[in-house]
Each structure stands twice: as C-alpha cells, then as structure tokens.
C-alpha cells in the first residue's frame, strides 16, 4: 500500500498538537486518574439545552452518573429512533481528555475537557453549515460534517485554550443527501465521508495546512453506507443500512474492496464499533433491534459470526467499546436507554441498562 511520508508541515502540526496536550489544563494528568479515567459519555441531544452526560465506569461495566454538562447549544430533541442520522456526533480527542459535541439544533459544535476527572465546558463555535451531525478529530485538526442545506465539511484548528478556529469549508458533491459519518484515516492524511443517499464514500486528501481538497467519490460495495471504522494496515470497515458490512483497503485515492456487502439478514445496519485488536466488529441493526457480530481476518476480510449476537430490543443506534474492549455501550434513543454488554470472547452478554431521556445520540467510552 502506498503511504505518504510525514511532511514538515504535518510534523509541525504534530508538535503544535503536543503543545496543546502539555499546556491545556484540561489535558493534564492528575494523581486522581492513576492509570486512566474510566468514563462513558452520552449526548442528551435535548432542544434547546443540549448537554453531555458523564458516567464513571466500574470494573464490572456498570455506570454511575457523575454530572450533566451543558454544551451551550441545542440538540434536536427526541425524533424517532435516529434523530441525527449519523455516527460520531460525540467524539473523544486529546488522548481522551477532550470531547467534541455536535449541536445539530443550533448549527454549532462544542468542546469540553476533563479537569481532575471533572467534565468542563471549554468553547463553542458555529459549524460552518446546517445540521452538523458528525465530527472527526486528528491531533489539532477538527472537521465537522454539515449534512443539510448545502452539505459540506468544515475544518478547524484547536488552540491551546480549547477553542476552534475556522480554516476551510469544502462542499460535498451536488446531490449528496443523507451524509452520515466523517472520519480521518489513522495517519490524518485523508478524510472519509459516507453518503447513504447516493451510495457513495467520499475521499478527501488533506493538505499540509489542514485544508481538505475536493472529494473523490467512490461507489459503495453495499447499499446505504453509514458508519466508518478502521482496522490495521489501511483496512476500512463500513456498515451499510441495507443490512450488511463491507471492508476495503485504502490505496492512494481509491478504496479497493476486500469483502463486499457481507449480509447479516437484519434491518438498518447503521452503527459500527471495532475492537482494539481490529478482529471483531459490532453492528447495530436499528430496524431489527439487534446487534450483529463480525470477525475481521488478518487481511481485512469480513466473516459474519452471528446475525443476532445480542438482542437489546428497541432500536439500538450509536455504540462504543470501553478502551480495554471488555464492555460495549449502546444508545437506544427512542426509549432513552444505554444498554451495556460484556464482551465474552466473540459473544456479548447483557450487563445492565441505564435510563435517560428519549432523544439521546452519541456515545463515547474510555
């Protein structure tokens, strides 16, 4: 696979980012953290007062409420099973010490940080478009997907105070309806966007100054591409609302299919989580109320393990694995629940439920 060398511009950006991590108070390590914080975050998506809810994760995976921190913006409020139509509306950055939240109801994004284990609001910025529903972070670069109006991706630089500064707005191709997820590749040199309405995956090259260039559209191997996650060595995993998942290898400006549209017989297979070893994938089937499990082979090939690997009921959407890979946390927006599963080998074992308000979307775990 062709790889881009780390340019002087990217090296400078990396050093700048390191400076952020060392100087921003919210990113300092503290004695209380001793080995890392075990937190889970859920976005309330309330209109007009969106917030991020912070939980502490116990050794058995259970959650205890710590605090509910306003984002300063508005969510959409409860709106069926999938209010935002997206994955990654709430994402971690800064080595887990920053949170970025999409305020889809007010066209803003918010930055929150962790100070002595306490979630704290840092800043808020306009999103550069209409209905921000997904966020991608790579070092001090932050891009947001604005999925309605004139759809675009808008980029920002994060400064040492946790504030965002606009650097670019790049339109999506005409007719790009139903854009769902935005992700940086692991090297930060490209951005991927899924557009379920046109069955396309868009590839943006990211210049040394952080500006994303015009996208290269590629047809999806399966119907209605939605969530994006990464394996090892350039492998890209994509969930597909048509009831499948596909894997690709990213080479230059093309996604080469490894396993195309591996079906799971379920409905609305939209949300995707991949474990740290990049050997198992978990797909939320919103229309069926189930979770399917896949095995990811050494070459990125996908094999369906269980069409119904777990049955949380309702309409499961966003999911996140704890950093140790032992627990999977799944949003169920319509009923306002977070369903907890313990990962047992290739299986998922029910481990509890936390009740919140209807309309939640976005979950991040440590």
Which CATH superfamily hosts domain 8-365?
A: YVTN repeat-like/Quinoprotein amine dehydrogenase (2.130.10.10)
Whole-number Å distance between alpha carbons of 326 and 312: 17
Whole-number Å distance between alpha carbons of 252 and 1: 8
Please give the backbone phi and psi of residue 187, each rounded to the nearest 5 degrees, phi first: -80, -15
| Distance set, CA 47 to CA 29, 109, 315 (Å) | 34, 14, 21
CB 239 within 8 A of CB 272: yes
Nearest one of 270, 267, 263 to 318, comparing CA atoms = 270
Identify the pLDDT of residue 8: 46
Residue 2 has pLDDT above 90, yes or no: no
CB 147 within 8 A of CB 179: yes
User: Which helix H or strand E contains 17, and what residues bound it?
Assistant: helix 8-23
Residue 330 has pLDDT above 50, yes or no: yes
Whole-number Å distance between alpha carbons of 97 and 92: 7
Whole-number Å distance between alpha carbons of 188 and 274: 19
Residue 212 has pLDDT above 50, yes or no: yes
Mean pLDDT of 283-287: 98
Tokens of 321: 């694995």
Please give the backbone phi and psi of residue 259, each rounded to the nearest 5 degrees, phi first: -125, 120
Residue 20 has pLDDT above 70, yes or no: no
Residue 294 has pLDDT above 50, yes or no: yes
Identify the pLDDT of residue 252: 80
Mean pLDDT of 101-121: 96
The structural domains of the chain, with segments of one domain joined by +, span 8-365
**What is the gyration radius of the CA atoms in the chain, in angstroms?**
19
CB 133 within 8 A of CB 107: no
Question: What pTM value is reported for the model?
Answer: 0.91
222-254, pLDDT tens digit by residue? 999 999 999 999 999 999 999 999 999 999 889
Residue 7 has pLDDT above 80, yes or no: no
Mean pLDDT of 102-113: 98
Query: What is the dihedral sign for C-alpha 153, 154, 158, 163?
Result: negative
Burial of 211 (0-12, 13-18, 19+ CB in 10 A): middle
Identify the pLDDT of residue 95: 86
254-263, pLDDT tens digit by residue? 999 999 999 9
């Amino acid at each position: 696979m062709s790889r881009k060398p780390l340019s002087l511009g990217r090296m400078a950006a990396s050093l700048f980012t390191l400076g952020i991590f060392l100087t921003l108070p919210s990113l300092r390590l503290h004695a209380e953290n001793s080995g890392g914080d075990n937190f889970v975050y859920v976005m309330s998506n309330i209109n007009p007062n969106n917030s991020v809810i912070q939980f502490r994760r116990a050794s058995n995976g259970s959650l205890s409420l710590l605090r509910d921190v306003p984002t300063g913006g508005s969510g959409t409020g409860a709106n069926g099973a999938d209010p935002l139509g997206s994955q990654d509306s709430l994402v971690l950055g800064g080595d887990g010490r920053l949170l970025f939240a999409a305020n889809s109801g007010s066209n803003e994004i918010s930055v929150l940080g962790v100070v002595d284990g306490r979630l704290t609001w840092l800043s808020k910025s306009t999103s550069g478009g209409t209905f921000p529903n997904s966020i991608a972070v790579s070092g001090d670069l932050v891009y947001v997907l604005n999925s309605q109006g004139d759809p675009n991706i808008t980029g920002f630089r994060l400064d040492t105070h946790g504030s965002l500064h606009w650097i670019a707005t790049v339109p999506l191709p005409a007719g790009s309806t139903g854009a769902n997820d935005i992700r940086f590749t692991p090297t930060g040199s490209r951005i991927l966007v899924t557009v379920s309405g046109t069955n396309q995956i868009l590839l943006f090259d990211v210049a040394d100054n952080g500006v994303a260039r015009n996208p290269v559209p590629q047809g999806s191997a399966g119907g209605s591409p939605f969530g994006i996650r990464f394996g090892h060595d350039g492998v890209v995993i994509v969930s597909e609302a048509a009831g499948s998942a596909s894997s690709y290898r990213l080479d230059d400006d093309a996604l080469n299919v490894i396993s195309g549209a591996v079906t799971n017989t379920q409905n609305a297979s939209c949300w995707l989580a991949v474990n740290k070893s990049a050997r198992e994938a978990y797909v939320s089937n919103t229309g069926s109320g189930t979770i399917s499990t896949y095995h990811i082979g050494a070459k990125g090939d996908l094999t369906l393990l269980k069409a119904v690997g777990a049955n949380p009921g309702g309409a499961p959407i966003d999911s996140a694995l704890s950093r140790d890979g032992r627990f999977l946390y799944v949003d169920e927006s319509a009923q306002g629940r977070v369903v907890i599963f313990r990962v047992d080998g290739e299986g998922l074992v029910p481990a509890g439920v936390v009740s919140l308000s209807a309309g939640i979307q976005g979950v991040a775990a440590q």
